[in-house]
Structure 1
Amino acid sequence: MGSAPEHVHTEGDLGHQHATEVTQSNERRIRLVFLLTAGYALVQAIGGWIAGSLALIADAGHMISDSAALLLALVAYRVARWPIDAQRTYGFHRVRVLAALANGATLLLLVAWIAWEAVQRINQPAEILAGPMLIVATIGLLVNLIGAYALWSGDSGDSNLRGALLHVVGDLLGSIGAITAAVGIMLTGWAILDPLLSVLVAGLVIRSAWGLVSDSIRVLLQATPKGIDATEIEASLRDLPGIAEVGHFHAWTLTDESIIATVHVSADQGADPLSLPPLVASWLQETRGIDHVTVQVDPRGSLLTRHT
């Protein structure tokens, strides 16, 4: 073996998309549900303000968070079609991550306001117009039923569509909760049901909002994706035939469904260095689902982690 490192790379085509192929039908379904959800969120916010219902306003925040998730799904469809160029060799996939971070941060502020207002109303209950509250919540139930049916009847193999359906189901439960609270207030006069429900809905919002923020930060910091243990992977690669040493394994997320990795290896005595990149890339794809791999073959003895 020569003294100079052999830089051997195995990667997918730069324009290759790793997500499930999206049909125009699925995109139209998500666009329809986005328009329904965003439109109703506005109606619900106005109705909640008129009825004095914090629960409706909180659920409007929940609908806004799900509208944002649907919008991000639409962005993902469109971004996947944008061509790469010499300055953006990975394309524009991180646009979705930036949008998710902004959306999550905004929703956390909304949750803080809802929690503060709920505490005030629990201490000093306000008058709730249960009739208008019931009407707005019932409209929401119908909107969410339509949205759930539109998504459920689409391609179940599309991860964007499945994610959108889960968000709409969450909105459906929120509408049922608002209807229950409105009926409870009408029957009992207990206005405290409204702020109590708003706290429960805020819990749903903060869960999704924090998930958006934390996942976005992980991606932007190029943290190792969840479920990927660099030390364990290096140890496993070291056991593959023909590999003497493994080191400098790095992995990061490009998009929700695309992980990129780089790793350095060296060949055992008598092994063909050119056989190692496809071997390593194939193993990482089959065992860890990493389908965009760059492998560098270095001279034996140049890596700190050695085969034992």
Structure 2
Amino acid sequence: MSKQHAHHFSPALGKVFYWAIGLNLAYTVIEAIFGFATDSMGLLSDAGHNLSDVASLLIALLAYKAALRPASARFTYGLGRATIEASLINAVILYIAVVFIVIESIERLQSPVVVNGDVVAWVAGIGVIINGVTTWMLMKHSRGDLNVKGAFLHMAADTLVSVGVVISGIVIRFTGWYQLDPIIGLVVAAIIAVSSYSLLRESLNLSFDAVPKDIDIHKIENIIDATPLVVSYHHLHIWPLSTTQVALTVHVVVDSPSDVDRTIDSLRARLSSAGIAHSTIEVETKNKVCKEEYHDRITHDRASE
């Protein structure tokens, strides 16, 4: 079995995931402890979000590991699609977290709880550092990979959220405005919902084999049209193998059988430069296509009689 469909990722990415999971799990525990101790909805909602982020990072890591496995007799394309499913699961997890945060924050608005602003500010300050470091580690790996990009966006949003919780803690410390704590919880929910929408939409599209958004199908069509010796083409299909690799199949028509090999080599190189990692190109001659079209037309006419 050929292993040409094994997916390639940066070796450093695995270590980044391990560090990110460890740091955020430790902070989630700390934040939850102080959140319960101080009855802070801001801390508890952020802890819940951070816990979902730990789960998201773990899912992304497992998908990354699965995608590294080579193709087999049973999984001939490998397990790269695990990264697509992981992105979709992570998006759903985030919106579930939004629902719970909104419900609890509304209850706290109706029945305000006294919160220790100093503790809230200090704990959230630690979060700014941890989330910021995690975001920085994921940043360079997030370009061109929806699976990693989802984790990166979560951590970037968390960094902003932690900054907001720090501000709320300071304001509560000096003004005693305890309603600000659940308001921050609602702001957290809004940030999560907005920042996660593109992740949900794109991962859902990819799960249905949509053309990835960074692939311009019109550009691909122009590349095929402009390839020397290509007379025409049909049966063009483009779909994702993973969050980083794209596959294509197409039937192209040439004048002569002697043009077949040169056409395949030229077109495959052009498609590769356009972001198509795996291309299956079937080349036909004009005479063969004409004969097939004639046969199909005769068959259709006889069936209509």
Q: With structure 2 as the length reference, what TM-score do the two structures score?
A: 0.79
For 1:115, which of 75, 98, 102 is the aligned residue? 102
Shift of 1:126: 3.2
Distance 2:271 2:135 in 1: 37
Provide the residue aligned with 1:275 in structure 2: 262
**Aligned match of 1:7:** none
CA offsets, 1:114-173, max 9 Å, x none? 223333434543332324323432332343455467x38xx9578579856665444333
Matched, 1:22 2:11: yes
- Is the 1:38–1:67 Cα contact (8 Å) retained in structure 2? yes
CA RMSD of aligned residues (A): 3.2
Deviation at 1:271, TM superposition (A): 6.2
Q: Which has the higher contact order (CA 8 A, sep 6+)?
A: 1
CA contact 2:60–2:86 (8 Å) conserved in 1: no
Residue equivalent to 2:297: none
Aligned to 1:127: 114
Higher helix content, 1 or 2 = 2
The alpha carbon displacement at 1:15 in A equals 4.1
After superposition, residues 133-212 of structure 1 pair within 5 angstroms as: 133-144=120-131, 147=134, 151=137, 156=140, 163=149, 167-212=154-199
Distance 1:271 1:238 in 2: 19
Cα distance between partner residues in 1 of 2:67 and 2:222: 35
Distance 2:127 2:215 in 1: 41
Instruction: Compare 192-201 and 95-104 and name the one that shifted more.
Output: 95-104
Residue 279 (structure 1) shift: 1.6
Aligned to 2:281: 295
Counterpart residue number, 2:71: 84
Whole-angstrom CA distance in 1 between matches of 2:256 and 2:118: 81
Shift of 1:252: 0.9
1:237 aligns with 2:227: no
Letter in 2 for 1:17: H
The one of 206, 228, 243 equivalent to 2:215 is: 228
In structure 1, C-alpha distance between the alignment counterparts of 2:16 and 2:226, rounded to whole Å: 48
Partner amino acid, structure 1, of 2:179:
I
- Structure 2 residue matching 1:297: 3-state secondary structure: strand
Alpha-carbon distance between aligned partners in 1 of 2:55 and 2:190, rounded to the nearest angstrom: 17
Is 1:260 equivalent to 2:247 in the alignment? yes
Identity of aligned residues (%): 30
Q: Distance in 2 between the 1:270 and 1:103 partners? A: 49
**Aligned position for 1:61:** 48
Moved more, 226-235 or 199-208: 226-235
Cα distance change of structure 1 residues 17 and 101 upon mapping to structure 2, 3 Å threshold: closer
Q: Judging changes above 3 Å, is the alpha-carbon distance between structure 1 residues 40 and 100 closer, same or farther for their aligned structure 2 residues?
A: same
Instruction: Describe how 1:28-47 pairs up with structure 2 within 5 A.
Output: 28-47=15-34
Where do 5+ consecutive residues of structure 2 fail to align?
Answer: 294-305
Alignment partner, residue 37 of structure 2: 50
Q: Is the Cα contact below 8 Å between 2:253 and 2:285 reproduced in 1?
A: yes
Q: Give aligned pairs, total.
A: 286
**1:65, 1:209 within 8 Å by CA — same for their partners in 2?**
no
Is the Cα contact below 8 Å between 2:157 and 2:195 reproduced in 1?
A: no
Once the two structures are superposed, residues 37-77 of structure 1 have per-residue CA deviations (whole angstroms, 9 ceiling, x without a partner) of: 02322332343233222222232233234324432443244
8 A Cα contact 1:131 1:182, kept in partner:
yes
Contact 1:242–1:271 under 8 Å retained in 2: no
Structure 1 pair 208/93, CA: closer, same or farther in 2 (3 Å)?
Answer: farther
The one-letter code matched in structure 2 to 1:56 is L
- Cα shift at 1:175: 2.0
SS at match of 2:73: coil
